[in-house]
């Protein structure tokens, strides 16, 4: 059944794979710009978004270029999540294995930090990128890996053009939170946050990906 998507609707992208029997993932979010015309079939529009992400020299190719060579089974989940959540659709990219040297550990990561105009914890987002020991140098990222990662860093800030005349803008997504009371303290409602990304930086230190439920990374 076809469903429409409108201006300001949010699409969430989860790129996940398997590294040494651990599921690792990186996430991105995109918004249809204010004033966009209605797309009558959100499902086929997700197909077009994936095709845009999977073009040579685009997001997915630039990401696999910097992943460990034994990180495989890469798939991409696309889902409209706001204001209405629809079922996710899963795709297999053209290049679905990493292109760097293999890793013998599953929890090393580089971090690319993206930010909006304001300076607070809801307008900053960290993209965790799995790496191997060959990409490290005395606790910092190897200079060659940082050079390779510059292309993906730039892609995070780039608009998508899934179909002629339409755009998807990269954003920092913050889910809405209802008001609640805990330990006698009232916490206010927080609206959904769709922050335009205006900058990104590759952090120079190697991080450890933390386990969240059954997955590692964010």
What would the pLDDT profile of 167-200 be if each residue is shown by its tens digit?
A: 999 999 987 788 889 998 988 887 787 899 999 9
Express each pLDDT in 17-30 by its tens digit. Answer: 999 999 999 999 99
What CA–CA distance (Å, rounded) separates 126 from 172?
10
> Is residue 40 exposed (0-12), middle (13-18) or buried (19+ Cβ within 10 Å)?
exposed
Task: List 110's β-bridge partners, or say none.
Answer: 129
pTM (2 d.p.):
0.90
Q: Report residue 137: phi and psi, to 5°.
A: -150, 100
Task: List 187's β-bridge partners, or say none.
Answer: 180
How many CA atoms within 13 Å lie on the side-chain side of 22? 19
Measure CA 7 to chain center: 20
Express each pLDDT in 125-165 by its tens digit. Answer: 999 999 999 999 999 999 999 999 999 999 999 999 999 88
Express each pLDDT in 92-128 by its tens digit. Answer: 999 999 999 999 998 899 999 999 998 788 889 999 9
What CA–CA distance (Å, rounded) separates 75 from 14?
8
Express each pLDDT in 2-58 by its tens digit. Answer: 999 999 999 999 999 999 999 999 999 999 999 999 999 999 999 999 999 999 889
Task: List 127's β-bridge partners, or say none.
Answer: 112
What CA–CA distance (Å, rounded) separates 125 from 147?
21
């Amino acid at each position: 059944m076809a469903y429409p998507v409108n201006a300001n609707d949010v699409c969430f992208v989860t790129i996940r794979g398997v590294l040494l029997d651990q599921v690792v993932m990186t996430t991105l979010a995109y918004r249809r710009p204010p004033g966009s015309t209605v797309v009558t079939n959100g499902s086929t529009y997700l197909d077009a978004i994936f095709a845009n992400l999977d073009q040579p020299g685009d997001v997915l190719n630039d990401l696999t270029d910097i992943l460990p060579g034994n990180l495989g089974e890469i798939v991409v989940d696309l889902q409209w999540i706001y204001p209405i959540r629809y079922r996710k659709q899963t795709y297999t990219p053209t290049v679905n294995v990493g292109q760097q040297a293999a890793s013998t550990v599953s929890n090393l990561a580089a971090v690319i930090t993206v930010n909006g105009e304001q300076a607070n914890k809801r307008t900053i987002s960290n993209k965790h990128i799995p790496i191997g020991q060959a990409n490290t140098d005395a606790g910092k990222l190897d200079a060659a890996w940082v050079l390779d990662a510059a292309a993906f860093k730039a892609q995070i800030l780039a608009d998508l053009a899934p179909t002629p005349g339409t755009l998807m803008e990269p954003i920092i997504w913050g889910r809405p939170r209802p008001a609640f009371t805990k330990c006698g303290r009232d916490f206010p409602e927080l609206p959904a946050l769709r922050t335009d990304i205006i900058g990104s930086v590759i952090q120079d230190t190697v991080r450890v990906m933390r386990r969240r439920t059954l997955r590692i990374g964010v």
